[in-house]
Amino acid sequence: MKQYYKKIQEIATELKPEAVDFACQTIRVRSLSGEEKEVSDLYLNKMKEIGYDEVFRDDWGNIIGIINGQEPGPTIMYNGHMDTVPEGEHSLWGKYKPYGAEIDVSKVDNQDMDEKEMTEVIHGRGASDVKGGLACQIYAGKVLLKLRQQGTLLKGNFMVAGVTMEECGDQIGTIKLIDDTFPKKGLDYDGVISCEPTKLKIALGHRGRMEILVSVFGKACHGSSPWLGVNAVFMANKLIDRIANELPKKFPTDPDLGRSTITLTMIGCSPNANCIVPDRCDFLLDRRFVPEETPDMCVQQIQEIIDVLKKEEPGFQAEVKIAEYERNFYTGKSITFANVKESYKIPQNHSFVQAVARGIAAVNQPVKYQYWSFGTDMPKICVTDHKPAIGYSPMQEPYIHTPEDKVRIDYMEKSIAGYASIFLNLMELPKEAFRL
């Protein structure tokens, strides 16, 4: 198959200008969570234009494109999200516009993030998370279509899924795609390639993430006579102090994923008015956890602190639970869902991972591994569905969610070739290789 890999690189070079232009089109569209309609139309129409065998939008706003092989084989889902975080204060972007998609030569990190290089990049919100990568996944499909037209035998199915609501943190777009849409459409999948930022390395997992909601209760009274009430904020401060300074001492460390963490991200009180001692204080905790921990364990740790404070502090009352949110999709669908995702790791020696590594090496890219510091939709794949998933993309983590949001164009070209080559290697694996 050596001749195929050289051809893949040649086609990727040929398609680079198209892929870059398409990525710029998507970056120019503001697509916050629940507002992905306009950008989803771009993805849907582009896959139709390229010639994907099947292209459709599901009830949850996800966009799916499929290229069918001529022979049976695995279905590999290339997964990327269509939503982005807000752009923030425009003045912090300097000379670039958040949705300008300007191209220039800029200083940027190298693959190992130990040196800066001058190279051509696209600037703009979502360039690194993940519009640069999703454009490349879609254009990898065009590489495979050209190979198929030239006589290359493809096995199985190449599937691209542009999913909704990833930035919300609860995997809901991917979950609904797999659990609701796939059964309705008679579809299934065997493994996943995520385009979350990896700087052309293979990502093997990340810590779990959950949001824990804590409510502390007091007794309202006039602000001139605070002794007549119980200040919920003062009570909450006692709990927050122990969460911040005592609980982390018990946290485990994973050799690959690092140490578990907890931090307070949001806080509020009620009635939140002048001259009234607050009778309630709610705060949100961002909890990252390693594989030996579970969401229930994380909640129980907070409950244990609450139980101790109830004994120590007269009038102390609080409750803790996993935060839930109503998610409103641009298609009109709505659902309330818990904001939690498991921690996951896939072994480097797993046959799926090694096939991916062979695919990258075949197009002359170094094989390097990493773990994400942030969360992705991959726990749905690996933990819930027990199927293999890795990350591979042209984008770099330091630029996500920042005013320096950008993607290297040279890495985009490499990833187009890498995605196509990975598929050619995965399609040759036996069925048992797609189990965890």
CATH of the domain at 358: 3.40.630.10
Domain of residue 317: give its range: 208-326
120 and 264 both lie in a single domain: no
Residues 281-287 have a mean pLDDT of 98
| Strand ranges in 255-313 using DSSP code E only, listed in sequence order | 258-259, 261-270, 280-289
196 and 76 both lie in a single domain: yes
- Three-state DSSP class for residue 45: helix
Distance (Å, whole) CA 179 – CA 101: 35
- Three-state DSSP class for residue 183: helix
424 and 300 both lie in a single domain: no
- For residue 13, being part of any structural domain is answered with yes
Could you give the strand order of the β-sheet that contains 406-408, starting from the edge strand earlier in sequence? 103-109, 116-123, 406-408
% of the chain at pLDDT higher than 90: 98
279 and 356 both lie in a single domain: no
- For residue 178, being part of any structural domain is answered with yes
Q: Does the pLDDT at position 102 exceed 90?
A: yes
In sequence order, what are the beta bridge partners of 54? 66
237 and 163 both lie in a single domain: no
- Three-state DSSP class for residue 299: helix
Which of 268, 294, 326 delimits the end of a domain? 326
236 and 362 both lie in a single domain: no
Model pLDDT for residues 418-428, shown as the tens digit of each residue = 999 999 999 99
Distance (Å, whole) CA 6 – CA 223: 76
137 and 54 both lie in a single domain: yes
Q: What does the pLDDT read at residue 4?
A: 83
- Provide the sign of the torsion angle of the four alpha carbons 42, 48, 51, 57, taken in this order: positive
What secondary structure, in 3-state letters, does 99-161 show? CCCCEEEEEEECCCCCCEEEEEEEECCCHHHHHHHHHHHHHHHHHHHHHHHCCCCCEEEEEEE
Q: Structure tokens of 295?
A: 């969401």
313 and 426 both lie in a single domain: no
Q: What does the pLDDT read at residue 3?
A: 75
- For residue 337, being part of any structural domain is answered with no
Distance (Å, whole) CA 327 – CA 169: 11
Q: Does the pLDDT at position 1 exceed 70?
A: no
Written as one letter, the residue type at 364 is: N
Query: 49 CB contacts (<8 Å, ≥6 apart)?
Result: none
Q: Does the pLDDT at position 55 exceed 70?
A: yes
Which of 293, 326, 359 delimits the end of a domain? 326
- Three-state DSSP class for residue 35: coil
3-state percent breakdown (helix, strand, coil) of the chain, nearest 5: 40, 30, 35
Q: Does the pLDDT at position 407 exceed 80?
A: yes
290 and 421 both lie in a single domain: no
149 and 232 both lie in a single domain: no
Instruction: Assess contact for 121 and 406: CB atoms under 8 A.
Output: yes
Residues 66-75 have a mean pLDDT of 97
- For residue 338, being part of any structural domain is answered with no
Q: What does the pLDDT read at residue 181?
A: 98
- For residue 333, being part of any structural domain is answered with no
Considering only CA atoms, which of 80, 62, 163, 170 is closest in space to residue 127? 80
40 and 124 both lie in a single domain: yes
302 and 403 both lie in a single domain: no
| Domain total in the chain | 2
- For residue 61, being part of any structural domain is answered with yes
Residues 280-284 have a mean pLDDT of 98
Residues 369-375 have a mean pLDDT of 97
Region of 150 (left: φ > 0; alpha: ψ -120 to 50; beta: rest) is: alpha
